[in-house]
Structure 1
Amino acid sequence: MKLAVGLACLVGSHLAATGSLKSKAKLEKRAWATSEPSYPSPWMNPNAAGWEQAYQWAKDFVSQMTLLEKVNLTTGVGWEGEQCVGQTGAIPRLGLRSLCLHDSPLGIRGTDYNSAFPSGQTTAATWDRTLFYKRGYAMGKEARGKGINVLLGPVAGPLGRMPAGGRNWEGFSPDPVLTGIAMAETVKGIQDAGVIACAKHLIGDEQEHFRQVGDGFDIDESLSSNIDDRTMHELYLWPFADAVRAGVGSVMCAYNQVNNSYSCHNSKLLNGLLKNELGFQGFVMSDWQAQHTGVASAVAGLDMTMPGDTVFNSGLSFWGANLTVAVLNGTLPAYRLDDMAMRIMAAFFKVRGTQDVDLDPINFSFWTLDTYGPIHWGAKEGHQQINFHVDVREDHSRLIREIAAKGTVLLKNEGALPLDKPKFLAVIGEDAGPNHNGPNSCDDRGCVGGTLAMGWGSGTANFPYLVTPDAALQAQAIKDGSRYESVLSNHAMETIRKVVSQDNVTAVVFVNANSGEGYITVDGNRGDRNNLTLWNGGDELIKNVASWCSNTIVVIHSVGPVLLTDWYDHPNITAILWAGLPGQESGNAITDVLYGKVNPAGRSPFTWGATREGYGADVLYDPDDARVPQQNFTEGVFIDYRYFDKHNTRVIYEFGHGLSYTTFEYRNLQIQKHNVSAYIPTTGLTEPAPTFGEHSTNYSDYLYPEGFHRANRYIYPYVNSTDLELASGDPYYGQTADQFLPPNATSSDPQPLLRSSGKNSPGGNPQLYDVLYTVTADITNTGALEGDEVVQLYVSLGGPDDPKVMLRDFARLHIKPGETVKFEGKLTRRDLSTWDVTLQDWVIRDHTKMVFLGKSSRKLVLGALLN
């Protein structure tokens, strides 16, 4: 029997590996963005800082592996092949079980007895490095407790180019520095817990519409995010560089194309930027079904294919047996497969800190919560106990509550807060109450109903419980002796009017706006939001309550900004809070803030514009009949507050805005310049590509073993014929690699190092991170309550094409009444540089530069020239 996926599918076209697909030329005659080739795929560096020991352990392990075992390690077993959302093949001869790769960036998806953490965006609103790390560590511990080896997060793609982007809430912020710091700390936390973190999605994955062919859109290829070189470096790649510098073990390439080359076989992106320039030493995995070629994706830098099959449940793979054939017939050089295996095992050993490969068993099944069932879920084979219902939550509820409260942003307060035993508390709105079918009633949270505590899609987790605002606030009111009523509907207007128009009422209105991943449509929203208004008539609810009650407080649970323009300045609206997506402790956290148990210091991680048009960039909903949708990032580095500043556009609440129940004074700005050596571009060559171990040239060694039982649709590395041409089923079999792969794609010779690369320092040239200036100031709490202040450090680089100001550092400081605390921020060479597209390196230009300290991007309290 021939393999159903032939080598023609395996290798793809020359252009599939380098730039625009051949088929596109037949579709439209227009000038399309292209992605230049970058070959060969860089091999691991044994001297890379932080990876030295892991490299040696990986070398020892991979040197013992057979060709079949290496293929098995790099190829997923197929959708529903085993227990996790993705698993590699096992290496039983060497004692390594199948590696478990599993969602999500805010918890463990689809299991039980796990925690549901606040979203990345809500966590970013704390502006607290310690909490970034603690959240990552707690999620890593829970993942390890379930037997997970790679946790699929954190997220820097989408960055948040458009406020309506469906998955923005999974990431942190449209600001690259805030996101980069959150990425680095989260990576450190996850990996300190012994689990490989996965930075995703690389890159330009900024919307859900048209991300894949077959999602119900009439297109021939996925959307292309067309990004210029400077924008790539200064905006979208920036937080991935921080993740690489933090030692991240894996990176996930995206569904979309970048400059008309699919992310998972885009050699410029994977080889050129990630592995060469940034010196990434871990492995690149595909997003699920984001692989479109075989050898072409391998030489372009892909190291692991997930979930392994070309289409879910097909049993067919671009790799697997096809990868075995490719190495045997010389299409793919052995060193490239060795490097794939090395990268996977080095990441594995790095986070474990030991050469031991004995792993705890996977104790759950993503496909069911039933205790017993088939271990091979798709094949319905291997019935046994698959769920052990292990409780991994520990005391993480306290951390979740702390993050949710500290990530709550007080946008407006006219003296209404904090609450102090109000005589009559009325809580209004569906968002205050429960989903009547339960918090986990819809798969991957793909529905609306009750309070919003996370968005929908693969970035979710099951709630172990969900404390609603209604439950928590009622408990507090009973404790205080307050009168309490709630109307958990957005549309029972006559009932609501009767309640809130009484005397002595403090009305708290809960509203929301949701979004998620594009494979689910909720209330007509295909992942991306259709608009920036509140859901379920929330805006009308607020305006009606405000017309009846002179003390109306609004709480927003949302996936990003909503338009507040029509009602935010209503005189009866005395306070507005953004509570983001707070996770399982939602009600307790908002109660802590409303009653002053936590003095709010959350700061908005995005801008609240007055109009949707004010953001500039927007979701591409209509590809204008293009068979391959083109999303041109023409705004360059000017997104979110940078765009509003450039065009001097009205905002309701600016980036970084947030109020407190106390007040702070800034004074005594000091700038210390450090003597550092001049920037020296990297030079030299790599070592030649190493190979580890020998593989048999006896083709019969690669056949299925006699009597071997093949699970249905499971991906194996074995071939079914010693005639490789017959096994491949490829009509073009016999072509040499240089006939369909770009020049240098399979070279094993020493390669020149990029001047911007780090040589032995992941993250780029290490001198980029030299501290050039230390900025200090005295921050005094001038109020009556202790609280936190988030001090934000911005710079102006002064060039005609530079943003007005850019965030570069921050600190969340806890200060008692009357106390003065010193803020200290740092400015690195990278912070003061721009990307030179001609030189292909970072440069500090001669423009006049200024530094600012402030409470937000538009409340800059102190400033000075940088000399």
Structure 2
Amino acid sequence: MQLTALTLAFFVGESLAQVHEAQLPFPDVTYPDAISPNPNAVSGAQTNQTSPPRYPSPWGSGAGEWAEAYKKAIEIVEQLTVQEKVNLTTGSGWQQEQCVGQTGGVPRLGIRGQCLQDSPVGVRYTDFVSLFPAGINAGATWDKRLAYERGRAMGFESRDKGVTVQLGPVAGALGRSPTSGRNWEGFSPDPYLTGKLFAESIRGIQSTGVQACAKHYVGNEQEHFRQVPESRDYGFNITQPGSSNIDDQTLHELYVWPFADAVKAGVASVMCSYDLVNNSQACQNSYLLNHVLKSELGFQGYVMSDWQATASGVPAILAGLDMTMAGDIRFGDGLSYFGPNLTIAVLNGTVPQWRLDDMAVRILAGWYLVDGHAEVPEPNFQSWTPDTFGAVHAHVGSTWGTGLVNQHVDVRREHGRLIREIGAASTVLLKNVHGTLPLNTTARLTAVFGEDAGSNSNGPNSCKNHACDTGTLATGWGSGQASSPYLISPDAAIQHEVVSRFGSYESITNNSAFTQINALARRVNDVAGICLVFSNANSGEGFANVDSNYGDRKNLTLWQGADAVIANVSATCNNTVLVIHSVGAVEIEQYKENPNITAILWAGLPGEQSGYAIADVLFGRVNPGAKLPFTMGRKRSDYGTDVLYTPNSEVPQFNFQEGVFIDYRGFDHRNVTPVYEFGFGLSYTTFEYSGLTVEKLDVADYMPATGASGPAPTYGRIDYDTSAHTFPENITRIPLYIYPWLNSTNLSQSYGAANFGNNSFIPEHSLNGSSFSYPPSSGPNGGNQGLWDILYHIRVNVTNTGPTVGDEVAQLYVALGGPYDPKVILRGFERVTIEPGKTVQVTFPLARRDLANWETEAQDWIISEHSKTVYVGSSSRDLPLSVLLK
């Protein structure tokens, strides 16, 4: 059938767009009545899909910006004993030191252990730190500068607390399913948008001397069934974590794509995830770690496990895992797949010296890459208590030492200003009828409704890990959150705004006060005032549940009974503004169509400055310029993908048979009209696009990589006398602490050896240190450098045709033209500030990889012979300009 474009109507009152209808930019394309999936995606995402083995684990070369860091690391590793090398790779155990993860060091050489600490929104489990807007808010800004500044500010706070590795930013979950619990930690379900902001966040963090950790690699797209003990606690009987079954093309074009940007940005570490990928544990999947990450992408840093995600010792190490976290197998059990078992494995030859040396060099090189040795102090906090004094080793208690554990160092600087700026810059204006916004501060009566407008009466940090939904929603729950030094509620900020001008203001933040809500809404309507209704929807990590939402949301509806409040207010108040704080998409079509709801804003998870940020937008100090980083569908089934909520086998199987067609790509592919499309957002002014031009650059032809590496280097000598590796006589052994030493000179009887039979599995070629072949797409620090060559410059003029200065996000999409390609994919964006009546020229660079598909058979990126068309406009479905690339 032939689809025609819908009309985008504008009501020009005070230069405000009235109603938005999703506009298809492809009126000349014929869409088939039956949409067939990509057969390669279907065949490559079957139940019990397997992952191909790839060995040996590539040794780092120290290429490019890593050269000096590798030189320093090698100089140290040449001096280390086996135990000292092992110490660098192994966490000390859960709650045994100050940080959520802490490795051993080399005291005799002045090498401290690494302090690894959550989160991607601030420093977790401590005080006097900032609560930053979530990754999804950074995504909504579409602003690379703000992503960098946010990362830099978080990096400074981590550094000043003594953190050497910030566990963030996040690109997995990418956002395959809108209900997935941790989508909000990342930026967007679009890999290009995520990749650009991911990279800038990494650069910002690492500019401070703190290492970034890109996570969770890869396929970590739901919380249900990510861990066996956690799932059993919720009554699900599984034997292994769930398996994300993904075909090779989808893996490269969607889920690995942003990690390539991370490697290109010089990320020091990558965290592998809990899930299986094609029925192989992500943290011992040799195809993902050895082949894709370390060989294809040329990653020079180190791979760490998620906490308790290490599934074995020798097999995981040979598959590319460099560091185990938190060190123990299960929290607090005192056992480790690494530690003394890694020492045993090196001595008995099941882990070759070159592999241990490569692990140690990669870990130290990440430290030197960011100058962390010169920048980061010792930790001045302890994660396990807010008290000033306490047990030094919290897990085993005060018997093993007490002292000053928290110095309560205030590291916030003036980051509240940046947090407020990002909060406002990430607020998306979805609907604005009759010039409702910005608000007139002289309104006769301003009324605020909804629990989400108010404060948690028990305090902003009263719920452990923020695992509740009480009061206004500023962040999701789990390890991705941080404590808030304060939380400015919308109620407080808007009240201050109104009463500072001696206006009239009332609020009701009890969603059950139906009689009072109705009476106040009616009175506001009678005096031609304004009603502001606040609502939210929450989610988080799977170790906690809120109202039986086991991390993942059960649905896409609003929480706290907000629908009843909205219905109550809008039934009598014909000037109702709806504000949504949510972790992602919610079902709001009924509110878009409701004539009494004159404006809708999505404000995401804005962090500690929530109230001030939304007030800046509501009262016009900030002209909204944000765009949706995801699609708002009419109903849950519109997305075509979902979380698996009940196990379909003892090892749950998540079959990603939709391939690359997630979020807007899926809506376009299936001809489903969204409520608000990806990339959409209104402004208090209007913009016009014109003058699209293409400049083709003279670039050398792409050359696939060929050849092989040299032999694996080793550093120092190993003493194979087992008596040299037993516990020193003068050491005080902390119970359940993970040490690198042996407790017996008999390797078969030493610590743990009999309990780790799976360590005896040695894959073919995994011990071969002679060389490894270069895949065609490979190259140091991001893959084949030809993929990053800029082939075209696309330029467009953007004019502010309204009366108010404003930000516009110009967006470029490409149609790759193949029968199983999305209609369009994002391949460029720039946020620009434009004065009224002025025109700004925006330039988009198009790289070779932006125009290429992954060819599984060739194992390389190939630009197909299909025609490539570029579209430019203000959203994924409002693309007025196009040009065919030649």
Q: TM-score range by the shorter chain?
A: over 0.9
Aligned to 1:21: none
Match of 1:462? 483
State how far apart, in whole Å, the 1-side matches of 2:741 and 2:357 are: 18
Match of 2:66, as an amino acid? W
In the alignment, which residue of structure 1 is the partner of 2:35? none
Indicate conservation of the 8 Å contact 2:350/2:762, yes or no: no
What CA deviation, in whole Å up to 9, does each residue of 1:111-164 have, x standing for no partner?
A: 100000000001110000000000000000000000000000000000000000
The reply to whether residue 689 of structure 1 matches residue 707 of structure 2 is: no
Structure 1 window deviating more from structure 2 (197-206 vs 532-541): it is: 532-541
Question: Map of 1:25-104 to 2, 5 A cutoff?
Answer: 32-46=48-62, 48-104=63-119
Which of 539, 555, 571 is 2:595 aligned to? 571
Q: TM-score, normalised by structure 2?
A: 0.93
Aligned amino acid, residue 690 of structure 1? P
Q: Which residue of 1 aligns with 2:828?
A: 809
Q: Which residue of 2 aligns with 1:219?
A: 238
Contact 2:314–2:761 (Cα < 8 Å) also in 1: no
Counterpart-to-counterpart distance in 2, 1:563 and 1:697 = 64
**Conserved 8 A contact 2:639-2:663:** yes
- Poorly superposed stretches of 4+, deviation over 3 Å: 356-359, 728-735
How far is 1:374 from its partner? 1.3
How do residues 591-670 of structure 1 correspond to structure 2 at under 5 angstroms? 591-624=615-648, 626-670=649-693
- Residue deviations 1:631-667, cap 9 Å, x none? 0000000000000000110210000000000011111
Q: Distance in 1 between matches of 2:177 and 2:430?
A: 21
Whole-angstrom CA distance in 1 between matches of 2:375 and 2:450:
51
Cα displacement (A) at 1:505: 2.1
Match of 1:160 in 2: 175
1:528 CA drift (Å): 0.2
Gaps of 5+ in 2: 1-45
Q: How does 1:278-357 map to 2 (within 5 A)?
A: 278-352=297-371
Corresponding residue for residue 141 of structure 1:
156
C-alpha distance 823-768 of structure 1, shift in aligned 2 (>3 A): same
* In 1, Cα distance between equivalents of 2:678 and 2:494: 29
Rate the CA distance shift 1:755–1:499 in 2: closer, same or farther, 3 A. Answer: same
Other-structure match for 2:452: 431
1:326 alignment partner AA? A
Aligned to 1:4: none
- Report if the CA contact (8 A) 1:325-1:728 is conserved: no
- Answer yes or no: is the 8 Å Cα contact 1:477–1:484 preserved in 2: yes
Aligned with 1:846: secondary structure? coil
| CA deviations over 1:207-255 (Å, ceiling 9, x no partner) | 0000000112210000000000000000000000000000000000000
Secondary structure, in 3 states, of the residue corresponding to 2:772?
coil
Q: Which runs of 5+ in 1 are unaligned?
A: 1-29
2:273 corresponds in structure 1 to 254
Q: Is the 8 A contact 1:106 1:116 kept in 2?
A: yes
1:517 aligns with 2:541: yes
**What is the identity, as a one-letter code, of the residue corresponding to 1:669?**
L
Deviation at 1:565? 2.1
Tell me if the contact between 2:335 and 2:752 (Cα under 8 Å) persists in the aligned partners. no
> Among residues 296, 310, 318, which one is paired with 1:277 in the alignment?
296
Give the conservation status (yes or no) of the 8 Å contact 1:162–1:619. Answer: yes
Q: Is the 8 A contact 1:95 1:357 kept in 2?
A: no
Cα drift, residue 98 of structure 1: 1.7
Identity of aligned residues (%): 56
Question: Given the alignment, which residue of 383, 408, 422 partners 1:366?
Answer: 383
Determine the C-alpha separation between the residues in 2 that align with 1:364 and 1:725: 40
Letter in structure 1 aligned against 2:766: A
1:833 counterpart = 2:852 = yes
CA contact (8 A) 1:159 1:168 kept: yes
Secondary structure, counterpart of 1:602 in structure 2: coil
- Alpha-carbon distance between aligned partners in 1 of 2:520 and 2:845, rounded to the nearest angstrom: 53
Aligned 1:382-461 pairs, distance under 5 A: 382-414=401-433, 415-421=435-441, 422-461=443-482
In structure 2, what is the Cα distance between the partners aligned to 1:657 and 1:43? 45
Deviation larger for 651-660 or 214-223: 214-223
Residues 725 and 733, structure 1, Cα contact 8 Å, conserved in 2:
no
Distance in 2 separating the partners of 1:36 and 1:323: 25
- Residue 566 of structure 1: how far off its partner (Å): 2.5
Q: CA deviation at 1:730?
A: 4.5
Q: Secondary structure at the match of 2:370?
A: helix
Counterpart position of 1:20: none
- In the alignment, the residues of structure 1 paired with residue 854 and residue 314 of structure 2 have an alpha-carbon distance, to the nearest angstrom, of 32
Q: Answer yes or no: is the 8 Å Cα contact 1:454–1:581 preserved in 2.
A: yes
Q: Number of aligned pairs?
A: 830
Partners in 2 of 1:729 and 1:281 — Cα distance?
A: 31
* Aligned residue identity for 2:723: S
Q: Is the Cα contact below 8 Å between 2:689 and 2:880 reproduced in 1?
A: yes
Query: Does structure 1 retain, via aligned residues, the 8 Å contact 2:208–2:375?
Result: no
Report the secondary structure of 1:35's partner residue: coil
Distance 1:724 1:52 in 2: 37
- Alignment check: 8 A CA contact 2:301 2:366 kept: yes
Tell me how far apart the structure 1 counterparts of residues 754 and 404 of structure 2 sit (CA, whole Å): 45
SS in structure 2 of the partner of residue 89 of structure 1: coil
SS across alignment from 1:687: coil
Root-mean-square deviation (CA, aligned residues, Å) is 1.3
Q: Is 1:706 equivalent to 2:706 in the alignment?
A: no
CA displacement at 1:703 relative to structure 2: 1.0
Check 1:59–1:375 CA distance in 2 against 1; reply closer, same or farther (3 A cut): same
Which amino acid letter does the alignment assign opposite residue 736 of structure 2? R
Measure the CA separation in 2 of the matches of 1:844 and 1:560: 33
1:541 paired residue number: 565
- Distance, in Å, in 2 between the alignment partners of 1:778 and 1:599 is 20
Residue 84 to residue 673, structure 1, CA distance change in 2 (3 Å): same
Residues in 2 aligned to 1:108 and 1:732: alpha-carbon distance in whole angstroms: 36
State the match for 1:13 in structure 2.
none
Q: CA deviation at 1:740?
A: 2.7
Deviations 1:701-733 (A, max 9, x none): 111111421111100001011111121565699
Q: For residue 489 of structure 1, what is the aligned residue in structure 2?
A: 510
Which whole-Å CA distance do the structure 2 matches of 1:768 and 1:540 have between them? 52
Instruction: Output the amino acid matched with 1:636.
Output: G
Distance 1:358 1:597, change over 3 A: closer
CA distance in 2, matches of 1:777, 1:684: 42
Match of 1:587 in 2: 611
Q: Name the aligned partner's letter for residue 518 of structure 2.
A: R
Which amino acid in 2 is paired with 1:454? T
* Paired residues of 1:283 and 1:344 also in contact (CA < 8 A): yes
Return the letter of the residue paired with 1:741. Answer: I
Structure 2: distance between partners of 1:819 and 1:109: 44
What amino acid sits opposite 2:249 in the alignment? R
Q: Relative to 1, partners in 2 of residues 1:447 and 1:732: Cα closer, same or farther, differing over 3 Å?
A: closer
1:689 maps to amino acid: A
CA apart distance, 1:777:
1.1
SS at match of 1:214: helix
Q: Displacement of 1:699 after TM fit?
A: 1.4
How far is 1:567 from its partner? Answer: 2.6
Match of 2:40 in 1: none
